[in-house]
Structure formats: structure tokens, C-alpha cells
Amino acid sequence: MKKRRRFVVNGCVQGVGFRPAVFRHAESCAIAGFVSNTPLGVIIEAEGEEEALAEFSQRITGSPPSQAIISSCITEELLATGETGFSIRSSERSGDLLAGMPADIATCSQCMAELFDSSDRRFKYPFLNCTDCGPRFTIIRELPYDRERTSMHSFGMCPACQREYADPRDRRFDAQPNACAVCGPGLTLLNSSGDKIQTDDPVVETKRLLEQGVIVAIKGLGGYHLCCSAHNSSALNTLRQRKNRPHKAFAVMFSSLEQIRDYCRVSSIEEKELVSPARPIVVLALLAFSKLPVLVSPDTHDVGAFLPYTPLHHLLLEKSLPLVMTSCNRSEEPIVATEEALVPFLGTIADYALIHNRPIVRRCDDSVVAYSGEKRVVLRRSRGFVPYPIVLLKEGPPILACGADQKNTFCMTRGDKAYLSQYIGDMVEYTSHLFYGESVNDLMKLLGIDPAIVACDMHPDYHSTRYAHALGKRSVVPVQHHHAHIASCMAENRIQGPVIGIAFDGTGFGTDGSIWGGEFLVVDLKGFRRVGRLKQYPMPGGEEAVMHPVRMALSVLKTEGLEVEKLSGRMSEKEMGLLFSLMEKGINSPLTSSAGRLFDAVSAFLGFCDTASYEGQAAVRLQANARGQTGEPFAYDLYSTGDLLELSLGPAIREIVAGETAASVCAVRFHETMAQAATAMCVQLREQEKIGHVVLSGGVFQNALLLERTISALLAKGFVVYFHSLVS
Ligand SMILES: [Zn+2]
Ligand SMILES: [Zn+2]
């Protein structure tokens, strides 16, 4: 006797080829009924013999398409209707639109095979894709996700593509960006004046130019890359000069995992991340005798490596040496994504441009991930991960959280999900402000909410703070920067607290008006209490000190009563005198408890970085110099001051300044000291507060060595330790 059963499937099941997969399973199991995308999830009604239904049910959950993630599948028995045949019903267009919007997906293996199959009609077609792979987030103008609402709208499908698109048995059924060389987007190569270069094959010509050592701006998925050969020192040098980026590491795209292994050490977990559909940049350790020029990543022994994630990348990298692929932008401005915005770069930074005529609707930078052993550190969460939400412990009212001004991303919650934006960048430039405003409006529209509660940083002068107030909402809630750090880590770990939060960070506005950044907070769902901090030092000249680590070295030496003459020759006497008097008089020398600035001071004192060309450079170099070294922690002090516990690394500084330890050994011992000192603080706080759970957050914990040492020191003392692995 036939039975009918309803399945309501939720998770990431829309826009990833789930319905055609269900259709194929239904056909092969002789099941009648239908499948439909609805606001409640994917609904399937299936009718057939019990045995067939069981097999069908097993296949839906057991062999979903590669990109689908099933979080729940609820079944319900219905009365059989005698229906014959199985159909895919068109989407219901209401409710949770964002559920239908997947992240961009790297080219799948079947498309790859076609790309390099000379008998295939899409042989070497740089925009091929299918139901399982291709652009999504970056081409969707509006939801629901249908071709007419994507930037593929202007490309009418040829009869062959249309047939695939309409055939539920075809692997391109309902693939919205489906295209071929006859009907789809195409490439154009431009010279430095923006004139079209006549060539039969723009990819081959681009590869030839890259081999000659030029810089080409290449339009990708979420924006333009500036691209040059990773083996050509003179091209690298030119790119660094033109981009005014002397030291910060460039990302390198390799043709294959095998090629990466020729250059880097790759653990199995790193390999998994590299080949994942999100294809982030993964920071890998270079082999001892690296074949890459030092200019790729002058400050470290690592390289940000990634694999091709579009057909165009696969073609560019085919039989090619690795290519540097760095975001096309000026310093921390948003990535360039239109031909109009590219104009100022052409002829100044890029010698050529390889463009295409499929517009990028949403800019999206490459994501960056690093591993410390098995621990995943997300340095930038963007392409491939956005717009997938982080699932929260409980539901709440919709909230817009505006984020901070440096390396901004913002967040919007709906129900029990937190949707983080793509990477916006530093909010110093007008272009970032525009991108920010557009992206906030965009996400509100996609989520169909208009949050009445807006959270912003407590810093009164942040652009994001002013933006929050300008929205004119009922409730604007200023949040202390480091409280937000710890809360975000609790949220992704789905814990309620109370916890001891260690926020080791650059700088953030504190509730007492001073600059925080080395804080120990007791945090629960209701709020936070500051219970400890690192010893404060003045930042002579204010924020400028961030880019002049040697100023922090001067400040620490002076405060600790050590000879500042140790720094003579490292800055002019005039500058030193001026900074000295600023500190003496307390002018423009705000006190900070920042861990980041303390790392700066030590790194500068050891001679690794007097002036930084990017934020955090001194700490990056300190960590790089600690590589391969071991050592015991230096001494430190832990004492009460008022109602706070304070941790002073003064004794460590004294040992370092004594000069009896080699700089690289000092580097590793300083990391170890920070880890041990923070743990000692937590031991004291555990007695005082009766809390044994510790949460680690803040930019300084992007330092994998510090993170690893701190976690292991805390575990050794019996703490339960939480840290980030999904967001940063
Ligand atoms: Zn594919
Ligand atoms: Zn076509």
C-alpha cells in the first residue's frame, strides 16, 4: 500500500542544488510528489511504497549535494493522494529570503573536468559553473535567488544552456549563473590607457604578460586582484612601491595542492581548509629553503596561500608558477569591484587589466584563516563564509551591531542567528563609509528587518558610532570594545558565563576614559565587570604611537625607570626630547593598558621594528623571531591597585633590557611570560570570583604562538578555555 510522507528540511538547502538532487532521488526510488523552497525550509511530499520511502528518506539525508548542510529534517505522515510523477515547484516568494542566499562556491570537480576537456563545449570557458558551484553572494542583486535578480540578468541563455537549466535531470538544472562561451560573459584585456588589446585569447596573453613581470589587475569574484608572478622579485618590488606597501605580506595563489607542498608545510587540517568550497587564504609555514622571494612576506616565515576558486583562476594558474594575488585597493580602503573604480589604478599601479562583463554586485574580499596546531584562527571572515550566520544560544530581538572603526565588519541578528557582514575595512576613508552604509542597508533588506536596537562602540569619535546615532533609532547602546570582544567569543561558543574574559587587543575606548587593551573582565549575559588589567603606560603623541612602536619602547623604559639612552640612534634627539616632555607634562600621552602596545614596545626595543608600515607589524615580527626558539618565562608582578588586580611585565622588561639574552630568545620568552602572567592572574581571579571558565579574545590573540601558549598554560591550571574559531 502506498504511503505519503512530508519532509521539512532546514539548514543550508536553498541555492545549492538540493531540489534537483531530491528530484533525482525521487525518480530513482519511484517516488511521486513534489519538492518546493518555502519560508519554512525545503518541503518535500513523497508518495510511494514503504520500502521506497525509506530508501528515499535515507538518500535525502545521506547523500545531499556537496554544498548542502542539513540541520534538521522533520517528517510527518499524510494520506496518500494517488499522485503520479514527481515535480519541482517554483519557490514561494516570502519569508526568510536570506535562507536562499548561499555564499560563493569554488569550482566543483565536475566543472573542472569540463574546463580542461577539449571535447567539451565549455572547454576553457572562464565562467562555467553548475548547480553545485559558482558565484552566488557576489552576483545576487535581490532575493529570491533567480537569474533575473542577479548580474547574469543581461545574458540571455543560448538554447543549449536553456535546455540544461530547465532539465531536472541535468546537473545545471536551475543553476542561475549558467553560461557558456556562446551566451555568457567574456573577458577583455586592457592596456595601461584602458584601450582594448586585440587578442584571440585574453587568458593566454595575460599569462604571457605576467611571465614578463608586469602587474595585471584581474577581475575576480568579489573584486579586483592585483596580480604578478610570485617568482619575479622585480615585479614584486614594483608592486610594493606602487602600492606603498613595503612589508605587509602578499597572498599567493598556487595551481594545486601539490604545488603548495613544493613551497609550504601543509597539515591535514590545513589541507582540508585549502580545498574547502570557501577556498580561503590559509597562512602556511614556508619550507626551510623557500623558493619564494623574501619580498612576498618579508616579515615572517609564512605565506598566505590559496587555491584557484573560479574557472578563470584555474586557467590563469594552469601550468603556471604561483601568482601573487592581492586585493586591488589603497591601503585599507574597500576592494575595487567596478571598471569605473579601476580607472585610477590603471597605468599607475597596474600595467594591464583583465576585465569581464559580469558585474560584481557585492564586494567581498578573500577570507584568511590560520592554524595553530589544530586550532583554527579566523583572521578575516568574508568570501565563502558570508552570508552564512553564526547560530546563537537563544533568540533575541533584531539588533544591528555597528562594529568598530578598524578592520570593520558589522553584524545583524534575527531570531537565534547572527549575520556578519563581509569585510568592510578601516573606516577612515570616505569610500569605506559609503561601502559600510550600502552594506548595512543591503543586509537589512535581505533579512527583512529594521532593528530598533543599535549597538555601537563606546568610542565617541568612531564613524561607526556616529552612524549608529544618525540612524535615529529608539535605542542606541554603546558597548565597551573589549566587552564586545569577549561577548562575541561567548556567542560563537554558545556559553552564558559567567566567565573570566582576557581581552588582549590593540586599543579600545574604556569606561574610565583611558585606553584599554589588556583587560580581565568578568562577563555574563547581563554585562561585565573589569577585574584586572595590564599595567598602564603612556602613549606619547597619542594614536601616532601605533605606527611608531619605538615610542612605546621609550615610554616603557621611562616608566620603568630604565635608561632611555638604550634607544639613542633609534630616533632623533629632538623627537626623544619632545616625547619625553609630552609624557612629563601629561600632554597628548594617554595612558593605555593595551597588550598590543606592550608587544610593540618589546619588539621595538629588541630592534625588530621602530616604525611600522602596517598596524601590528612589530608584534608580527616579534612572533616571527620567536620561531624555533624555546625559553622560560621572565619574571612579572601581580598586585592589587584599588579594586583591580594589575599585572606588570616591568620585571620582564628589566631582564630584556639587561641585554644578557639574545633577541630571538627574548622574543619567545616574552610570549611565554605573557601566557604565564595571564594565567597567574586567572588563578587569583578564580579564587576571588569562583569562576573557572576563561574566554580569550582580541586582536593580539591572532598571534598563534601567544594563543597556543596561553591556552596550554590555562589548561595546565585546570581552566576550561574558550577561544574563537569562527569569527575574529
Ligand atoms: Zn560545478
Ligand atoms: Zn550558453
**How far is the C-alpha of 453 from the C-alpha of 398, rounded, in Å?**
7
Q: Which residues are catalytic?
A: 19, 37
- Nearest ligand by distance to the CA of 122: 2
If you average pLDDT over every residue of the chain, what do you get?
93
The architecture CATH gives domain 389-479: 2-Layer Sandwich (3.30)
pLDDT tens, position by position, 303-359: 999 999 999 999 999 999 999 999 999 877 899 999 999 999 999 999 999 999 999
**How far is the C-alpha of 153 from the C-alpha of 163, rounded, in Å?**
17
Average pLDDT of the segment spanning 568-579: 91
> Is 187-369 assigned to CATH 3.30.420.40?
no
Phi, psi torsion values for 680, nearest 5 degrees: -60, -40
CA angle 154, 160, 164 (to 5 degrees): 90
pLDDT tens, position by position, 140-156: 988 777 888 899 999 99
Q: Is the pLDDT of residue 96 over 70?
A: no
In this prediction, residue 99 has a pLDDT band, given cuts at 50, 70 and 90, of: low
Phi, psi torsion values for 7, nearest 5 degrees: -120, 130
Give distance in angstroms: CA of 38 to centre of ligand 2: 29
The set of cell numbers assigned to 158 is: 543560448
Give distance in angstroms: CA of 157 to centre of ligand 2: 5
The set of cell numbers assigned to 5 is: 510522507
Query: Do 389-479 and 504-722 fold alike per CATH?
Result: yes
pLDDT of residue 501: 98
Average pLDDT of the segment spanning 93-111: 77
Q: Is the pLDDT of residue 298 over 70?
A: yes
Q: Quick one: what percent of the chain has pLDDT higher than 70? A: 98
pLDDT of residue 330: 84
In this prediction, residue 20 has a pLDDT band, given cuts at 50, 70 and 90, of: confident
Q: Is the pLDDT of residue 12 over 80?
A: no
pLDDT of residue 61: 87
The set of cell numbers assigned to 70 is: 542539513
pLDDT tens, position by position, 249-291: 999 999 999 999 999 999 999 999 999 999 999 999 999 888 8
Q: Which residues surround ligand 1, an ion (CB under 5 A)?
A: 108, 111, 130, 132-133
The set of cell numbers assigned to 225 is: 586582484
- Nearest ligand by distance to the CA of 121: 2
The CATH class, in words, for 504-722 is alpha beta
- Nearest ligand by distance to the CA of 131: 1
Give distance in angstroms: CA of 180 to centre of ligand 2: 4
Closest CA to 100 of 36, 170, 24, 155: 36
Average pLDDT of the segment spanning 420-437: 90
Q: Identify residue 182 by its one-letter amino acid code.
A: V
Give distance in angstroms: CA of 113 to centre of ligand 1: 9
Q: Is the pLDDT of residue 115 over 80?
A: yes
Give distance in angstroms: CA of 181 to centre of ligand 2: 6
Average pLDDT of the segment spanning 601-606: 97
Average pLDDT of the segment spanning 44-62: 92
Average pLDDT of the segment spanning 578-602: 96
The CATH code that applies to domain 2-95 is 3.30.70.100
Higher pLDDT, 371 or 447: 371
pLDDT of residue 91: 66
pLDDT of residue 93: 56
Q: Where are the domains of the chain?
A: 2-95, 187-369, 389-479, 504-722
pLDDT of residue 19: 85
pLDDT of residue 281: 98
Q: Quick one: what percent of the chain has pLDDT higher than 90? A: 80
Average pLDDT of the segment spanning 218-244: 97
In this prediction, residue 132 has a pLDDT band, given cuts at 50, 70 and 90, of: confident
Rg (CA), the chain: 27
Q: Is the pLDDT of residue 476 over 70?
A: yes
Rounded to the nearest angstrom, the gap between the alpha carbon of residue 261 and the centroid of all alpha carbons in its chain is 24
